[in-house]
Structure 1
């Protein structure tokens, strides 16, 4: 399977989109150092239908005209546990937040909060799989691969106000 990439301008800096012919596999931050795709380079492919759809929907989201994404996605390389966590994040509705323990409860793994938190931090499809909607049990912002300022910005798009 050949993977392709493009860069996309966004209000949060350049995003790096990675896909194959059938699905988007990553949305990487400009300063991403932890994603499994962070240091890999792929062929640039413009006029790719998955990239066109992803850019269109991300721009709508940034302009407060979209609440959900319907882009074909694939979690390449994720373990079954990781995939279950990332799929659980899709259940967090626009303009709502869950705590890490809410995610653990949803997955029926109440004692796996640390493992779940680590997995959320490795979400390869940031923004589209809304890991930014997961906050601390105390209602405070907690870690985010894109940085807390970006997390706060994404939550503000959804009219959620939380101090860093």
Structure 2
């Protein structure tokens, strides 16, 4: 029997967010409308066959996300979520909210924080399969050289989210379009 989740949409300054919640009102996925096929693929990987039905997300969830996008960055910490994944993925995903808004961390630094210094690539893969964008702030992870590498919602969104949170972003025209965070 397929997992059944609710799907809602929320307008944000960086596009329409897709909110997937369960029967308990917990957030199971947050992605962007223009990346819906990727979100559905992640849901299948984590839950198997998934049925999404159009339904409004809980009011407190919508209010918290809207508050975050209006500048109240602490609102994300009040969002209740649940994800399926391997124990390793769970460890990475639970570490992401501990990276404070307005700061960034390299994949290597997160690997060291999790006491797995050789797992940098595995951390990157787990981060890339994070189904709950923004709330599990995968956008706060950057390359060792400060570059904004790989964000499932696109580097422009990653840059916007980091600038919105107060991270200092430097753009360099000499680095083939690379974007650096400091």
Give SS of 1:87's match: helix
Question: TM-score, normalization: structure 2?
Answer: 0.81
Task: For 1:86 and 1:17, locate their aligned partners in 2 and report how far apart those are by CA, in whole Å.
Answer: 18
1:159 Cα deviation from its structure 2 partner:
1.4
1:37 is aligned to 2:65: no
Give SS of 2:23's match: coil
Give SS of 2:7's match: strand
1:41 Cα deviation from its structure 2 partner:
5.1
The answer to whether the 8 A contact 2:92-2:123 is kept is: yes
Aligned to 1:88: 95
Q: Any stretches of 5+ residues in structure 1 without a counterpart?
A: none
Structure 2 counterparts to residues 1-164 of structure 1, below 5 A:
2-22=4-24, 23-32=26-35, 33-35=37-39, 36-37=42-43, 42-46=52-56, 48-49=57-58, 52-69=59-76, 70-76=78-84, 78-162=85-169, 163=171, 164=179
Q: Any stretches of 5+ residues in structure 2 without a counterpart?
A: 172-178
Question: TM-score, normalization: structure 1?
Answer: 0.90
Q: More helix per residue: 1 or 2? A: 2
For these two proteins, the number of residue pairs brought into alignment is 160
Give SS of 2:71's match: coil
1:68 Cα deviation from its structure 2 partner:
4.3
Task: For 1:9 and 1:117, locate their aligned partners in 2 and report how far apart those are by CA, in whole Å.
Answer: 28
- Which runs of structure 1 show a deviation greater than 6 angstroms over 4 or more consecutive aligned residues? none
The answer to whether the 8 A contact 1:57-1:66 is kept is: no
1:7 Cα deviation from its structure 2 partner:
1.1
Task: For 1:139 and 1:94, locate their aligned partners in 2 and report how far apart those are by CA, in whole Å.
Answer: 16
Q: More strand per residue: 1 or 2? A: 2
